[in-house]
Amino acid sequence: MLEIGQAAPDFTLENQDGKQVSLADFRGQKVVLYFYSKDMTGGCTKQACGFARLMPDFTAENAVIIGISRDLPATHRRFADKYELPFLLLSDPEHAVHELYGVWQEKTLYGKKTMGTVRSTFLIDETGIISGIYRKVKAAENPDDMLTALRA
């Protein structure tokens, strides 16, 4: 399990435009890395739109926002276009990066156990070190909470 003070595991995934993006590309900036379940769903849309609304504030803190789900790049593109999302959405269909960050876990819904994404956010500093870990976050509150954490 990842801990604060550890180096954030590097990865390379496709974004909503089909381009390869690596975490290492953002050295020198703070990164708000959030994992969510699915594009176009209620909670995930609230979370993404919250980050979009606060984007100027994150930019002022020298922070980039990166969302990761198992959706494919084309689905991310539709999601970004529909809600005017001004940040990267990365595709992790095989959940390899989810597993690196410990967010691919067994979940129980109505007594049925399945594997899925636990909504989580990681703050990564300019040198690539994890400075905050937030698990089982509330979608609508997460963007404001992360901005507050960055400013602390």
Residues that are catalytic:
44
Q: What's the DSSP call for residue 146?
A: H
Q: In what order do the strands lie in the sheet with 88-91?
A: 20-22, 12-15, 88-91, 63-69, 30-35, 120-124, 130-135
Using only the alpha carbons of the chain, give its radius of gyration.
14
Which residue, among 31, 16, 29, has the nearest Cα to 101 in the 3D structure? 31
What pairing do the DSSP bridges indicate for beta strands 112-117 and 104-109?
A: antiparallel
Contact 83, 72 (CB under 8 A): no
